[in-house]
Each structure stands twice: as C-alpha cells, then as structure tokens.
C-alpha cells in the first residue's frame, strides 16, 4: 500500500526523460514511451494532463511533442503526482469540509494529517532535476559542493 499509481510513475519517468534531453526542442509521446517500453497511448494521455496543469508545453505537428514548461529544478515530484493522481490524502476520510460522516471517530485524522503533510513535504522537496541523471559528474566534483538535495523535516505531534 501507499504506492503511487503506474500513471504517476510514468509521468515522473517522462519528465525525467525530458529533463535529460534539454537540447531537443520537444519529444513526442511515442519517443518517450518507446524509450521506456510503456504504452504510448496511455503515456500520451498522462502528458496531456500534465500539459493542462501547466507543467508541460505541447506542440502539435511534425517534430512536435512535449517540453518542460519550467526548469527541471522548479518542478517537484509532488506537482507531478498531484496533477496525475489528484490530491493526496493519507486518511481515507478526506474532505476537510464534511469529514467522515457519522461519528467523530477520526480523532486519528488529526495526527495522520501531520504525517500527510510530512510526506507532501518530502515529495515537494524533490525536483525532476533530482530524478534525472546528471552526466557531468566530473564537472560537478570540480565546481564545488555536490548538488545533492538535503532535506530535513520536523514532525511534531
């Protein structure tokens, strides 16, 4: 449990692919799908969704395709997952408005909501750039501190 859907996985993989090919003006859904061996039509729809939410820009016609709308560093895994799978709530009794119907049972909800925020925080702190492989290892070593993401989260119950 607590796993993300294949769609979200595919979406992350696709963005990673785009981040690793910044030179090309655009990559077609089919190219990306072929690169990873995932169903093209399915990926296409995922990319469409990411386009609608503004994470990608699309271009129809020959040599068209998709491209990141921002720098890979500025796109978090959270955004991608949220765009594809919708709002993530660890508690099954979602809906801040109505809450779970009967019973003020979910006193659990409160502490778990914090867990939820923590998880969101982790996901928000990870960018597509972090997922991509940065070729210039040697260069990175020379240029200074490694470009590692270091995340520290605090959870107080």
Partner DNA sequence: TGAATCCCGGACAGTTTTGGTCGTATACTA
Partner DNA sequence: TAGTATACGACCAAAACTGTCCGGGATTCA
Question: Can you give the binding site for DNA, defined by CB under 7 A?
Answer: 1, 5-7, 28-30, 38-39, 41-42, 44-45, 47-48, 51-52, 58-66, 85, 92
56 and 68 Cβ atoms separated by less than 8 Å:
yes
Sign of CA dihedral 58, 8, 21, 68: positive
- Which does residue 25 touch among a copy of itself, DNA, none (CB within 5 to 8 A, set by kind)? none
- Which does residue 152 touch among a copy of itself, DNA, none (CB within 5 to 8 A, set by kind)? a copy of itself
Tokens of residue 33, six digits? 């799908």
* Selection from 116, 40, 36 nearest residue 78 by Cα: 116
Answer for which of 85, 134, 136, 143 binds a copy of itself (CB under 8 A) is: 85
- Which does residue 18 touch among a copy of itself, DNA, none (CB within 5 to 8 A, set by kind)? none
123 binds a copy of itself (CB under 8 A): yes
CB atoms within 10 A of CB 13: 19
* Selection from 26, 10, 30 nearest residue 18 by Cα: 26
CB atoms within 10 A of CB 15: 27
53 binds a copy of itself (CB under 8 A): no
Segment interacting with a copy of itself (CB under 8 A) among 22-30, 47-55, 61-69, 80-88: 80-88
- Rounded to an integer, what is the distance from CA 35 to the centroid of its chain? 19
Binding mask 4-43 for a copy of itself (x = CB under 8 A): xxx-xx--xx--x------------------xxxx-----
φ, ψ dihedrals at 67, nearest 5°: -145, 155
98 binds a copy of itself (CB under 8 A): no
- Which does residue 140 touch among a copy of itself, DNA, none (CB within 5 to 8 A, set by kind)? none
């Amino acid at each position: 449990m607590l796993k993300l859907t294949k769609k979200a996985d595919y979406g992350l993989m696709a963005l990673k692919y785009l981040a690793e090919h910044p030179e090309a003006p655009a990559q077609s859904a089919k190219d990306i799908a072929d690169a990873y061996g995932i169903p093209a039509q399915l990926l296409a729809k995922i990319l469409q969704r990411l386009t609608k939410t503004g994470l990608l820009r699309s271009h129809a016609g020959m040599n068209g395709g998709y491209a990141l709308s921002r720098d890979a560093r500025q796109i978090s895994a959270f955004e991608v997952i949220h765009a594809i799978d919708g709002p993530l709530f660890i508690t099954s009794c979602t809906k801040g408005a109505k809450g779970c119907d009967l019973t003020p049972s979910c006193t659990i909800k409160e502490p778990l909501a914090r867990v939820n925020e923590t998880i969101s925080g982790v996901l928000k702190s990870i960018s597509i750039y972090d997922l991509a492989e940065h070729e210039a290892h040697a260069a990175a070593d020379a240029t200074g501190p490694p470009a590692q993401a270091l995340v520290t989260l605090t959870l107080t119950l």
